[in-house]
Structure 1
Amino acid sequence: MILTVNHVTTYGYGEPMGTAVQSLRLFPSRFEGQRVIDWQVSVEGGVRGGAFRDGAGDRVEGWSIRPPVEEVAITVSGQVETFDTSGVLRGHRESVHPMAYLRETVATWIDDALADLGAEAVAGASDELDRAHRLSRAVAEAIAYRPGATHAHTTAAEALAQGEGVCQDHAHALIAAARSVDLPARYVSGYLFASEDGSPHEAAHAWAEIWVKPVGWIGFDPANRCCPDERYIRLGSGLDAREAAPVRGVTQGAGEERMKVTVALHEVQQ
């Protein structure tokens, strides 16, 4: 499948700000499941800084915007050919040891309910792959997909207690449940062309990856009850949503920040 992406993130400020610095993880991952045909990232009025590939194998690029900063527009456009690898992150090069992803964060803190969910889900599982699939199903059943039900800082424990949330909450809950049974897990940001039944879906998407021996990292998307396939474009990963955020930055000033995001994905006829 060949997918085109048009993604614009705009930050507006109530009053002009000082210098803004952005760290962008907006570049498709290198692995057997996708091939970049064309990809452009730009920041209006920005100056491109250094770029590097971090220990997780993700490309990070720095940008700075000179003052006065009244608005920052980050534009991503490109085309990627994707392949179905059944969720397996095959051919991805990274140096961070999988055991590092057993570490908890605020968003993935494991309370008693999440620990119970994990233990009950894997009871009777035949192997680690079976355990991972059971955990993903358990999270999908415990948290109903409900846009607007949570906010950016909702934790996995809070989403589980509420019983509803969005893809970020599903990913955090799966990560926490997996770690509770000693399976390394991490958060993944990217894009999704459509839901499994072909209906429209939020194009900016998130899911989780679980380290399954002897296969390696495998993606699981509880929000859509599947493993990532050719409809997904993978960008980057981290311990949670904050660490894997496609855009992170700092500004100087006291102005109120507003953010608007528009993402469109289209399939190219082959």
Structure 2
Amino acid sequence: MILTVDHVTLYRYDRPVRGLVQSHRLMPSTCTGQRVLNWAVTVTDGLAGGAFRDGAGDWIQGWSVPGPVSEVAVTVRGTVETTDQAGVLRGHRELTPPDCYLQSTPSTRSDLALAELAATVAGHDDVLDAAHRLSGLVSEAIVYTPGATAATTTASEALALGKGVCQDHSHALLAVARQAGLPARYVSGYLLVEGDGAAEGQEAAHAWAEIWVRGLGWVGFDPANRCCPDDRYIRLGSGLDAQDAAPIRGTARGTGFEKLDVTVAVQAVQQ
């Protein structure tokens, strides 16, 4: 499948800031299953800084914008050819050992309810089946409900509420997988949401989880859509949680109030 992406993140400040610096994880992963045909990231009046590939295999690009500035747009446009790999991440070079992803974060810390979900696969010899079971349990426990949670909602809070979005599903799956002794990480990317393949209300900017299965490698699970990532997905990068894997991270120098608007469109084009 050939997918086009049009992603604009617009920052507005009620008073000019002295400048800002950002770190981007906006380049599609280099792996089997997705091939970049063209891709460009631009920043209004931005100066590209240093870039490197981190231990997880993600391309990190630094940017700075000199001030004073009241509005900055980060624009991503490109085309990617994707093929279905049944959720398995193949051909992705990285140096970080999988066991590093057993550590929890404030967003993915387990509690009694999450531990009870994880206990359902205790002693399960088939790790892949256990991962599928945990993803299914999270899908059942948290109903996809846009607007029910916030960016700061934790996995335990979303589970208690029984509602959430893809970030909450992913955090909950990370929590139960790690509780069960399975390395797991958060993945950010894009999803083609046309047709009946995605949950109602889904957005094109998406997130899911990857769980390490010995002998197979990293396998993606999307509890929000009750499936493994296929050719509708474009993978950008990964981390311990949503904050760690955020496509854009940065800070502005100034006291102005920041307003953020994000628009993302992913479309399939005729091959």
Query: Does TM, normalized by the shorter one, top 0.5?
Result: yes
In the alignment, what sits opposite 2:238?
237
**1:30 partner letter:** T
% identity of equivalent residues = 64
Q: Equivalences for 1:1-270 in 2 at 5 Å?
A: 1-120=1-120, 122-123=121-122, 125-194=124-193, 197-198=196-197, 201-270=202-271
**2:109 partner letter:** W
The more displaced of 194-203 and 145-154 is 194-203
Segments of structure 2 that go 5 or more residues without pairing to the other structure are: none
**2:220 partner letter:** G
Secondary structure class of the residue paired with 1:113: helix
**1:194 partner letter:** V
The more displaced of 192-201 and 171-180 is 192-201
Task: Give the C-alpha shift of residue 196 in structure 1.
Answer: 7.3
Task: Give the C-alpha shift of residue 126 in structure 1.
Answer: 4.5
Q: Matched residues in 2 for 1:185 and 1:51: separation?
A: 26
Secondary structure class of the residue paired with 1:115: helix
Q: Matched residues in 2 for 1:264 and 1:46: separation?
A: 23
Kept in 1: contact 2:84–2:230 (CA 8 A): yes
Q: TM-score, normalised by structure 2?
A: 0.97
Cα distance change on mapping 1:195 and 1:181 into 2, 3 Å:
farther
CA RMSD of aligned residues (A): 1.2
- CA deviation map 1:227-247 (0-9, x unaligned): 000000000000000000000
Q: Matched residues in 2 for 1:69 and 1:246: separation?
A: 22
Q: Matched residues in 2 for 1:238 and 1:22: separation?
A: 17
Task: Give the C-alpha shift of residue 111 in structure 1.
Answer: 0.7
- CA deviation map 1:88-127 (0-9, x unaligned): 001100000000000110000111111111112x157440
Q: TM-score, normalised by structure 1?
A: 0.97
Kept in 2: contact 1:102–1:183 (CA 8 A): yes
Task: Give the C-alpha shift of residue 197 in structure 1.
Answer: 2.1
Q: Matched residues in 2 for 1:131 and 1:184: separation?
A: 13
Q: Matched residues in 2 for 1:223 and 1:195: separation?
A: 15
Q: Matched residues in 1 for 2:210 and 2:142: separation?
A: 18
Q: Matched residues in 1 for 2:30 and 2:188: separation?
A: 14
Kept in 1: contact 2:144–2:164 (CA 8 A): yes
Kept in 2: contact 1:195–1:224 (CA 8 A): no
Q: Matched residues in 1 for 2:2 and 2:263: separation?
A: 20
**2:63 partner letter:** W
Task: Give the C-alpha shift of residue 19 in structure 1.
Answer: 1.8
- How many residue pairs match? The answer is 269
**1:143 partner letter:** I
Secondary structure class of the residue paired with 1:27: coil
**1:239 partner letter:** L
Cα distance change on mapping 1:268 and 1:196 into 2, 3 Å:
closer
Q: Matched residues in 1 for 2:69 and 2:111: separation?
A: 42
Kept in 1: contact 2:19–2:67 (CA 8 A): yes
Kept in 1: contact 2:35–2:82 (CA 8 A): yes
Secondary structure class of the residue paired with 2:16: strand
Secondary structure class of the residue paired with 2:243: coil
Cα distance change on mapping 1:124 and 1:141 into 2, 3 Å:
farther
**1:244 partner letter:** A
Segments of structure 1 that go 5 or more residues without pairing to the other structure are: none
